[in-house]
């Protein structure tokens, strides 16, 4: 009887910890709750270790994620998989064993807030393996340096170096990649890097080969407005909470963590911040850039007076290499055909939607693929044990778009 009582108490405590009120439209909410409970456990353990001075929270979090997810490169009957380098950057390469002699090529940047994850994780390995087989394409998944040891522009420079090498005649010839059919892609922070690389290399007239398409999966693209409708609507929706995204930004930009409350309040982009021009603000004006069904009842949160001087302390907030949404139209007009995936229950939804609008206004052909039941990170949860319906659908449609456009 006593054991049953203890069991019931523990079960109730576990259910209380796992349960989280979620929007009614989110895909398979119990799976998302379980996933979130796992992530919260990892993050809380990391925060405790950080507070005790045992190690940086990111280091422990990455160790735990790696222990669960990172796998060795192994080939199968359809795909040859090896760990190599690309422009000096560690990269996992996926090569189809059959199909046409001349392959399509995709360079892929993983997500993780510029601080977590790896292309060697099981979820990314499975994604790239499926892409290689279904597209008859060579996929190169890049392991750029991570925060806190690396801060902006280190991750960007790694992504750029790997991309330049990917487009080089030597690499294209070595892996039998068709120079007319190459793509840059990534999810979340990796989508940020993919967008920034696409902008830079599209404007580089010294390159003989350029990307044919860019495919951005729920990309993070700006750090000046943390009160877009999607940030307001989804601030407490897993797996990417609003404060966590702000923390990722501060780590990436090498800024003091004490600035977190200022960014969360939009004090860093108040109207008395002289470094932010009216033209820059127009690029973030979601009241004109978003369709009505996304704006809903939300109102802009723009402070008249805030904390002027934050931008001078953290100039990368205004650097287009870190915040591709701030790019000029003349730069965007030279970028390739784009695919932009967004999810309704994601704080980054409006970053992607506004970027798609900017690209369209610049004359770029854009496919905007929105998932009404989607949440941040859903596409990499297309496989067991955390397989989700929206994960499978989004991955299938992403690969289908590449097949039809690359």
Query: Using 50, 70 and 90 to split pLDDT, how confident is the model at 7?
Result: very low
Structurally, the chain folds into a number of domains equal to 1
What pLDDT is stored for residue 17 in this prediction?
A: 64
297 is catalytic: no
Q: 200 lies in a domain?
A: yes
Specify whether the CB–CB gap between 32 and 377 falls below 8 A: no
Q: Give the Cα separation of 345 and 29 in Å (integer).
A: 11
What does the pLDDT look like over 310-349, one tens digit per residue?
999 999 999 999 999 999 999 999 999 999 999 999 999 9
Total Cβ atoms within 10 A of residue 101: 6
Residue 88 is predicted with a pLDDT of: 98
* Residue 13 pLDDT: 42
Minimal CA–CA distance to 155: which of 233, 243, 249?
A: 249
Q: Is residue 208 a part of any domain in this protein?
A: yes
Return the structure tokens found at 15.
């259910």
- Read off the DSSP letter of residue 253: T
Cβ-Cβ contacts under 8 Å for 124 (sequence gap 6 or more): 108, 110, 117, 118, 141, 380
For the purposes of burial, counting CB atoms within 10 Å of the CB of 214, is it exposed (0-12), middle (13-18) or buried (19 or more)? buried
| 3-class secondary structure, 296 | coil
Q: Look at residue 301 in the predicted model and tell me its pLDDT.
A: 93
- CATH assignment of the domain containing 351: 3.40.50.1820
pLDDT, tens digit (0-9, with 9 covering 90-100), for 274-294: 999 999 999 999 999 999 999
Query: Could you give the count of Cα atoms lying within 13 Å of 160 in the half-sphere of its Cβ?
Result: 16
Is 346 a known active-site residue? yes
| pLDDT over 70 at 9, yes or no | no
pLDDT band with cut points at 50, 70 and 90 for residue 91: very high
| From 141, 307, 376, 394, the catalytic residue | 376
Could you say which of 125, 143, 346, 373 is catalytic? Answer: 346
277 assigned to some structural domain? no
56 annotated active-site:
no
Residue 54 pLDDT level (bands cut at 50, 70, 90): confident
pLDDT band at 113 (very low <50, low <70, confident <90, very high): very high
Instruction: State what percent of residues in the chain have pLDDT above 70.
Output: 96
Give, for 48, the enclosing helix (H) or strand (E).
helix 29-51
Q: Give the range of the structural domain holding residue 361, as residue numbers without chain letter.
A: 66-223+327-405
Q: What is the pLDDT of residue 1?
A: 54
Q: Among residues 184, 199, 192, which one has the least CA distance to residue 249?
A: 192
Kindly tell me if the per-residue pLDDT of 15 is higher than 70: no
Report the predicted TM-score, pTM, of the whole model to 2 decimal places: 0.95
pLDDT of residue 369: 98
Summarised one tens digit per residue, pLDDT across range 57-87 is 888 888 887 777 889 999 999 999 999 999 9
Indicate whether 118 belongs to any domain: yes
Is residue 290 one of the residues assigned to a domain? no
* Of 294, 290, 298, 295, nearest in space to 325 by CA: 290
Neighbours of 7 (CB within 10 A): 10
Angle at 43 between CA 117 and CA 20, to 5 degrees: 110
Following DSSP, what letter does each residue of 182-243 receive, concatenated?
Answer: EEEEEETHHHHHHHHHHHHHHT-TT-S---SEEEEES----SS-S-SHHHHHTTT-SSS-HH
Of all residues in the chain, what percent carry a pLDDT higher than 90?
80
For residue 204, give both structure tokens.
């580089």
Phi and psi based region of residue 289 (left: phi greater than 0; alpha: psi -120 to 50; beta: remaining):
alpha
Q: Is residue 247 part of a domain?
A: no
Domain membership of residue 271 (yes or no) is: no
**Residue in 188, 202, 269, 388 annotated catalytic:** 188
pLDDT of 181 > 70? The answer is yes
Q: Which of 359, 266, 362, 284 is nearest to 326 (CA)?
A: 284
Average pLDDT, the chain: 92
Q: Is residue 124 part of a domain?
A: yes
């Amino acid at each position: 009887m006593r054991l049953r009582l203890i069991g019931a108490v523990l079960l109730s405590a576990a259910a209380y910890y796992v349960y989280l009120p979620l929007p009614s439209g989110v895909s398979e909410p119990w799976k998302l709750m379980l996933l979130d409970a796992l992530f919260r456990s990892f993050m809380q353990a990391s925060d405790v270790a950080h507070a005790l001075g045992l190690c940086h929270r990111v280091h422990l979090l990455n160790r735990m994620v790696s222990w669960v997810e990172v796998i060795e490169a192994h080939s199968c009957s359809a795909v040859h998989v090896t760990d190599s380098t690309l422009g000096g950057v560690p990269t996992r390469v996926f090569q189809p064993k059959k199909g046409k002699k001349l392959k399509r090529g995709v360079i892929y940047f993983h997500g993780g807030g510029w601080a977590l994850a790896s292309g060697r994780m099981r979820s990314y390995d499975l994604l790239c393996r499926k892409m290689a087989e279904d597209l008859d394409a060579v996929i190169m998944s890049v392991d750029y340096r991570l925060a806190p040891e690396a801060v902006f522009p280190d991750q960007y420079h790694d992504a750029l170096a790997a991309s330049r090498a990917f487009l080089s005649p030597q690499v294209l010839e070595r892996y039998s990649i068709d120079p007319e059919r190459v793509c840059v892609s990534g999810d979340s922070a990796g989508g940020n890097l993919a967008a920034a690389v696409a902008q830079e290399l599209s404007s580089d007239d010294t390159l003989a080969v350029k990307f044919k398409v860019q495919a951005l999966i729920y990309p993070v693209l700006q750090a000046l407005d943390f009160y877009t409708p999607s940030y307001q609507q989804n601030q407490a929706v897993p797996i990417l909470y609003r404060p966590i995204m702000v923390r990722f930004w501060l780590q990436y930009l090498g800024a003091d963590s004490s600035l977190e409350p200022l960014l969360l309040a939009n004090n860093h982009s108040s109207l008395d911040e002289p470094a932010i021009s009216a033209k820059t603000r127009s690029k973030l004006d979601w009241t004109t850039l978003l369709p009505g069904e996304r704006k809903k009842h939300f109102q802009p949160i723009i402070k008249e007076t805030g904390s002027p001087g934050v931008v001078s302390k953290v100039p990368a907030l205004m650097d287009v290499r870190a915040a591709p949404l701030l790019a000029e139209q003349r730069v965007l007009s030279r970028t390739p055909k784009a695919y932009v995936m967004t999810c309704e229950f994601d704080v980054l939804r409006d970053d992607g939607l506004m970027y798609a609008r900017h690209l369209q206004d610049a004359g770029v052909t854009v496919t905007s693929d929105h998932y009404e039941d989607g949440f941040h990170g859903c596409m990499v949860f297309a496989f067991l044990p955390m397989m989700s319906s929206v994960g499978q659908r989004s991955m299938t449609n992403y690969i289908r778009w590449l097949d039809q456009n690359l």
